[in-house]
Every structure is written in structure tokens, then in C-alpha cells.
């Protein structure tokens, strides 16, 4: 069964697949509780909800015995014009990656069901997830042997780097499982030292200071102290990934036609982003991950990036 699942996942276009036994994550539960208590999650209150399910997949999907984790490389072959407000690479594609991965996971589920029986899955509840449930996806990918969680708090695959989407398929059947691999960050601190807002440390990520949080999740205007430290990012941030030696050494552009870079990303310059209208936004990004940010938030971010610098009155 394990070999069939992995071979089928790869044939469907995923770049890696592994399987972990579904167990409660007691160590993660203790850490997450202290992290939330310290307020490092900012105003992402949804992280406080469904805590028990978040750290125990058998409560999220009753009867779950196995977690199938898949990876999909999203590193884009193109770059933005140098003067454009920067968009994190995960949002380059014109199609929302959630839909792309869920479609493939549905195909994987159908193949497993046809081979081993439909009762391999709990069809009474949702059991396919892509950033859409109280689930610690990176931890499960790590347990499935697909990499380690680095000091930048991202999953790092030794052959793909960290520019990967993670998809999860929860199965109500046992199989053989993959083993975690050793953390290979060593003494490297490039991600920590390169973060312009000091959001990272060896122990934790403080979302309140993270550029990706500030320009996407933060519900208020970006605090003044961080407005000059955004490094021209309007959506997300890739700094801690770009400096990672594992990305610099191994990362190659993805070959997934479903993740084709949007023409707006490839062509728009600073003026086109600055003059973005609601109609432009809906036309260009309704099917894109950028749509999640929202028009008003994106316009506010761009305005902050384009504010005149160094013109304070003395």
C-alpha cells in the first residue's frame, strides 16, 4: 500500500510523498500552548480555536490512522520587474494553489479507494487539507520523512528546499510508515540574522514582527516601526527562504503547468500596482492566492511601500 500511494502521488504530479502514523502530538501541544499564551500569534485568533484537534488528528478525522503528506515545488521560473512591489513566490501563479493540490489529492484518494477499498477514508468528514484546517501540516510532513522544520520555521526538503506547498490526505487505514530525517540546519543562522524585523529566533517565530503576517494577516495598519523594514514586500515575504543554503543549492524552477506565473506578476511595474483599481484586482486575482489578501489591504500595503522616504521636517 505504501509503495502504491507514493508512486501514484508522484505520477499525479506531486514532487514528494511520505506517510506518517496518526498520533497525538503531545510535545507540539505544550509548545503551541505556550506560544499562544505569549501572544506570538498576533491577531490570528483562529489558531486558538480547535486546539485539541490541531494537536490530535484522530479528533479532527475520527478513525484516522495514517497521514499522507505530499509536496509540490512552487519555485517560479520568472521574476517580477525590478521596480514592482514584491510578491512572495507562493502567490505567483494565476491559479490558487489550494485548488490545484486539492484536485490532485482527490485523484490520489480515488486511486487508493479503487485499489484498497472506499472504507480507507472517512467520507462523513473532510479529510483533504491544504492550509484549511486546524492541522500542523509542517510537522506531519516532517514525521512523514519529507524534510525537517528549519530555523526559519519552514519545512526544508533536502532535494527541493522550502519552496514547497504541503497537502494532507488523512486515511482510516494502516500501512507502512516513513521515518523522519535528521535536522540539517546545523550552526547556520542565515535566516535568523537576515530577518529585517527580528521575527525569528532559535526558539520561535514572533508573528507580530513577521513581514508575511504584517502585510497579509494583520487587521490594522502596519505599525510605523515596521513600515520602513518591509523590503518592498506587498504580499508575503521570502527573505528567510532566499538566504537558506538549502534553497540556494538545490532549488529549481517548478515544471507544473497548473502553477504558471500570472502575467500581472511577470509584467506589472510599480505604476501599474500603484494605480490598481478594485476592478483590476478582481479581474487579475480572483483565482489567485493574492485574492486572499483583499483589495483594501493590498492597496494600503503598496501605499506604505511607495511613501516618500526621508522627508521629515526638521
Q: What residue spans define the domains of the chain?
A: 1-314
pLDDT digits (tens, 9 = 90+) for 90-146: 999 999 999 999 999 999 999 999 999 999 999 999 999 999 899 999 999 999 999
DSSP β-ladder status, 155-156 and 148-149: antiparallel
- Is 23 assigned a catalytic role? no
**CA angle in degrees (0–180, nearest 5) for 169-237-142:** 30
Average pLDDT score over residue span 226-232: 98
Q: Please state, in angstroms and rounded to a whole number, the distance separating the CA atoms of residues 77 and 117.
A: 40
**CA angle in degrees (0–180, nearest 5) for 291-42-205:** 95
Helices 278-285/295-305 angle, 10° precision: 110
DSSP assigned state of 161: B
* Rounded alpha-carbon distances, angstroms, from residue 260 to 89, 104, 202, 224, 242: 12, 16, 35, 35, 20
pLDDT at 312 over 80: no
Could you tell me what percent of the chain has a pLDDT over 90? 96
pTM for the predicted model, two decimal places = 0.96
Around Cβ 304, how many Cβ atoms within 10 Å?
19
Q: Which of 23, 119, 131, 193 is catalytic?
A: 131
pLDDT digits (tens, 9 = 90+) for 54-70: 999 999 999 999 999 99
Average pLDDT score over residue span 193-215: 97
Average pLDDT of the chain is 96
* Rounded alpha-carbon distances, angstroms, from residue 288 to 44, 193, 281, 284, 293: 22, 31, 10, 8, 10
Give rounded-to-5 percent helix, strand, coil for the chain. Answer: 40, 10, 45
pLDDT at 311 over 50: no
Average pLDDT score over residue span 185-205: 97
The three three-digit cell numbers of residue 263, written as one number? 502575467
pLDDT at 7 over 90: yes
Whole-number pLDDT of residue 248: 84
Whole-number pLDDT of residue 132: 85
pLDDT at 310 over 60: no
Amino acid at each position: 500500500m505504501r509503495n502504491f500511494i507514493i508512486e501514484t502521488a508522484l505520477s499525479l504530479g506531486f514532487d514528494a510523498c511520505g506517510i506518517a502514523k496518526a498520533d497525538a502530538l503531545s510535545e507540539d501541544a505544550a509548545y503551541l500552548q505556550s506560544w499562544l499564551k505569549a501572544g506570538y500569534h498576533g491577531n490570528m485568533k483562529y489558531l486558538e480555536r480547535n486546539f485539541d484537534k490541531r494537536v490530535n488528528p484522530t479528533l479532527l478525522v475520527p478513525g484516522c490512522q495514517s497521514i499522507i503528506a505530499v509536496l509540490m515545488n512552487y519555485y517560479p521560473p520568472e521574476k517580477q520587474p525590478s521596480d514592482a512591489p514584491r510578491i512572495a513566490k507562493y502567490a505567483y501563479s494565476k491559479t490558487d494553489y489550494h485548488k490545484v493540490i486539492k484536485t490532485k489529492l482527490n485523484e490520489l484518494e480515488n486511486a487508493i479507494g479503487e485499489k484498497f477499498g472506499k472504507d480507507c477514508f472517512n467520507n462523513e468528514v473532510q479529510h483533504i487539507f491544504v492550509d484549511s484546517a486546524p492541522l500542523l501540516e509542517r510537522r506531519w510532513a516532517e514525521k512523514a520523512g519529507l524534510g525537517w522544520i528549519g530555523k526559519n520555521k519552514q519545512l526544508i526538503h533536502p532535494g527541493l528546499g522550502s519552496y514547497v506547498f504541503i497537502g494532507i490526505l488523512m486515511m482510516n487505514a494502516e500501512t507502512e510508515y516513513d521515518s523522519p530525517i535528521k535536522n540539517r540546519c546545523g550552526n547556520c543562522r542565515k535566516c535568523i540574522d537576515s530577518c529585517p524585523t527580528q521575527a525569528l529566533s532559535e526558539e520561535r517565530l514572533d508573528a507580530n514582527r513577521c513581514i508575511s503576517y504584517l502585510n497579509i494577516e494583520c487587521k490594522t495598519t502596519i505599525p510605523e516601526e515596521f513600515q520602513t523594514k518591509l523590503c518592498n514586500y506587498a504580499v508575503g515575504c521570502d527573505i528567510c527562504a532566499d538566504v537558506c543554503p538549502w534553497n540556494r543549492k538545490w532549488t529549481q524552477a517548478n515544471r507544473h503547468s497548473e502553477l504558471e506565473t500570472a502575467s500581472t506578476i511577470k509584467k506589472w511595474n510599480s505604476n501599474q500596482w500603484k494605480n490598481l483599481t478594485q476592478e483590476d484586482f478582481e479581474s487579475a486575482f480572483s483565482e489567485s492566492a493574492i485574492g486572499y489578501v483583499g483589495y483594501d489591504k493590498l492597496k494600503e500595503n503598496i501605499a506604505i511601500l511607495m511613501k516618500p522616504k526621508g522627508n521629515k521636517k526638521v
